[in-house]
A and B are shown apart, each in its own frame.
Chain A
Amino acid sequence: MTGQVRHPGARGRLGRLVRVAGRRPSATVGAAVLFGFGLLALLASPLAGASADAQVGPVFAPPSGAHLLGLDDQGADVLKQLVVGTRVSILVATAATLVASVIGGAVGLLAGYLGGWVERALMALTDYFILVPALPLMIVVAQVWGPDLWHSVLIIGMLLWTPMARVTRAEVKVVRTRGYVLRAVAMGASRRRIIWKHVLPQVRGLLAANAVLIIAAAVFAEAALAFLGVGDPETVSWGAMIQHASERGAISQDAWWAVIPPGVCIALVVVACNLVSLAFDVTARHRHGRGAMPPGRSVEVEYVHG
Chain B
Amino acid sequence: MLAVRYALVRLLGAVAVIWGATSFNFLLFRLAPGDAANVAIVANASPELQRQLRAQFGLDDPLWLQYLKYLGQTARGNLGVSFSNQEPVSHILRAAILHTLPLALAGVVLALLLALISGLVSAWWHGRLADHMFRGSALVLYALPAQWLGILMIFAFSSWLPSGGMSDPFLLDTSWWAHATDVARHLVLPAVTLALTTYGAFTVVLRSSMISALSEEYMVTALAKGLPTRVVVRRHALRNALLPTVNLIGLTLGTMVGGVILIESVFSWPGIGQAVYSAVSRRDYPVLQGAFLLLTLSVISSSLVVDVVCRALDPRTRRA
Contacts and interface: CB of A to CB of B under 8 A. Distances in A.
A–B contact (CB under 8 angstroms)? yes
Interface centre among A141, A254, A263, A287 (most CB of B within 10 A): A263
B285 A133 contact: no
A295 B229 CA distance: 9
A143 B143 contact: no
A287 B253 CA distance: 32
B145 interface: yes
Contact of A296 (B128, B163, B253): B128
B28 interface: yes
Interface size class of B (residues with CB under 8 A): 35 or more
**For chain B, what secondary structure do more than half of its interface residues adopt (helix, strand, loop), or is it mixed?**
helix
A136 B28 contact: no
Interface string B267-279: 0000000001100
B41 interface: no
Given A223-B147, A293-B214, A139 B140 contact: no
Contact of A143 (B16, B229, B255, B280): B280
A245 B28 CA distance: 32
Contacts, number: 166
A271 B140 contact: yes
Contacts of A137: 292
A227 B273 CA distance: 13
Interface size class of A (residues with CB under 8 A): 35 or more
Interface stretch (B43-51, B68-76, B148-156): B148-156
Interface of B: 13, 16-17, 20-21, 25, 28-29, 31-33, 39, 123-126, 128, 139-140, 143-145, 147-149, 151-152, 154-155, 158, 163, 211-212, 214-217, 219-220, 223, 229, 237, 253-255, 257-258, 261-262, 265-266, 276-277, 280-281, 283, 285, 288-289, 291-292, 295-296, 299-300, 303
Interface of A: 127-128, 130-137, 139-141, 143-146, 216, 220, 223-224, 227-230, 239, 242, 245-246, 250-251, 254, 256, 259-260, 262-263, 266-267, 270-271, 274, 286-296
